[in-house]
Amino acid sequence: MIVDDANVGRILLVALVSMSGLGAAFAALLAVANARLKVQEDPKISEVESVLPGLNCGACGEASCRAFAEGVVASSQPVNGCRAGGVETARAVADVMGVEVGGAVVQKAVVHCGADDTVRRRRGRYTGVESCTAANLHLGGNIICRHGCLGYGDCYRSCPFSAIEMVDGLPAVNFDRCVACGKCVEACPRGIISLEVVKNETNYAVRCSSLLAGRAVRRMCTVGCIGCKRCEKACAVDAIHVVDNLAHIDYETCQGCGDCAEACPTKCITIVGGRIPVMTAPIEAVT
């Protein structure tokens, strides 16, 4: 079959017109489908997202600030659920949603161990990876107390808000920066960090996690709780009790007077949450 140049031109023209027509038809169909099937998004989602910090830290339990905003609008997240934003953000979100913010509960991370490098007793030399998780897997690390801080800074490296520093091998939490995201709690293999309700200007904590009897604690640590109950007897508001050889503070009742700290013979009850002192040898953050 012989096809001259004129026929080739006509064939190409017909093909071009046909493809253009098909493209226009499909585009029209997609436009109609989009208009009919489009899910209308609640404009409040964008409004809530606009007043959030935008850190996408995950402290609220969602993967992003956008997901948290969707949860607020869908009533699956509370308006005061953004821990990174604090009270001001909670109020802003509540204004968008037209509701009352309610009583905002302030929580902070508290470290329940007071044995730093100056008093920490060791049972050998650990030469593995300088990680609390790794050391804990290796026969529980090299410190005598199986309930104490290992001091390698997993909690420090896990904190996205720079609220923790290592001071003499012990984590110090800055309450001004802590948003109670719980990442340090998850990172600690010893389980010695907890989130506690804070409502006083001065806050105290039992810096020990051992449930051993007092005599056993004394053999391992000079600053551990020995379960003597002197703190319990000294508290005028009944905010501290010794359970299973370990003192526990009821932060809802505690007035922050410090009488328990004065009565403690081992001084394992101390003030927590102050500003972090300047470090001479900061730990290098893991990227």
Enumerate the domain spans of the chain.
43-97, 107-272
Cα(180)–Cα(273) distance, integer angstroms: 12
| Contact assessment for residue 106 and residue 197, using Cβ atoms and an 8 Å cutoff | yes
pLDDT computed for residue 282 by the predictor: 32
The CATH fold assigned to 107-272 is Alpha-Beta Plaits (3.30.70)
Structure tokens at 155: 């909690």
User: Radius of gyration over alpha carbons of the chain, in Å?
Assistant: 30
* Tens-digit pLDDT profile for residues 127-146: 889 999 999 998 788 899 99
In order of 26, 113, 125, the CA distances from 213 in angstroms are 78, 16, 27
Q: Which of 129, 126, 111 has the alpha carbon at shortest distance from 168?
A: 111
HEC string of the chain? Answer: CCCCHHHHHHHHHHHHHHHHHHHHHHHHHHHHHHHHHCCCCCHHHHHHHHCCCCCCCCCCCCCCHHHHHHHHHCCCCCCCCCCCCHHHHHHHHHHHHCCCCCCCCCEEEEECCCCCCCCCCECCCCCCCCCHHHHHHCCCCCECCCCCCCCCCHHHHHCCCCCEEEECCEEEECCCCCCCCCHHHHHCCCCCEEEEECCCCCEEEECCCCCCCHHHHHHHCCCCCCCCCHHHHHCCCCCEEEECCEEEECCCCCCCCCHHHHHCCCCCEEEECCCCCCCCCCCCCCC
From first to last of its 287 residues, the chain has per-residue pLDDT tens of 455 666 666 777 777 777 888 888 888 888 777 777 666 778 889 999 999 988 888 888 888 999 999 999 998 988 888 888 878 888 899 999 988 876 666 789 999 999 999 999 988 888 889 999 999 998 788 899 999 999 999 999 999 999 999 999 999 999 989 988 899 999 999 999 999 988 788 899 999 999 999 999 999 999 999 999 999 999 999 999 999 999 999 988 999 999 999 999 999 999 998 544 333 333 333 32
Q: Is 84 exposed, middle or buried (0-12, 13-18, 19+ CB in 10 A)?
A: buried
The CATH fold assigned to 43-97 is 3-methyladenine DNA Glycosylase II; Chain A, domain 3 (1.10.15)
Structure tokens at 247: 């003192």
pLDDT computed for residue 113 by the predictor: 96
- Beta strand pairing status for 107-111 and 164-167? unpaired
Cα(22)–Cα(8) distance, integer angstroms: 21
Cα(98)–Cα(192) distance, integer angstroms: 40
pLDDT computed for residue 168 by the predictor: 94
Cβ count near 234 (within 10 Å): 16
| Contact assessment for residue 231 and residue 247, using Cβ atoms and an 8 Å cutoff | yes
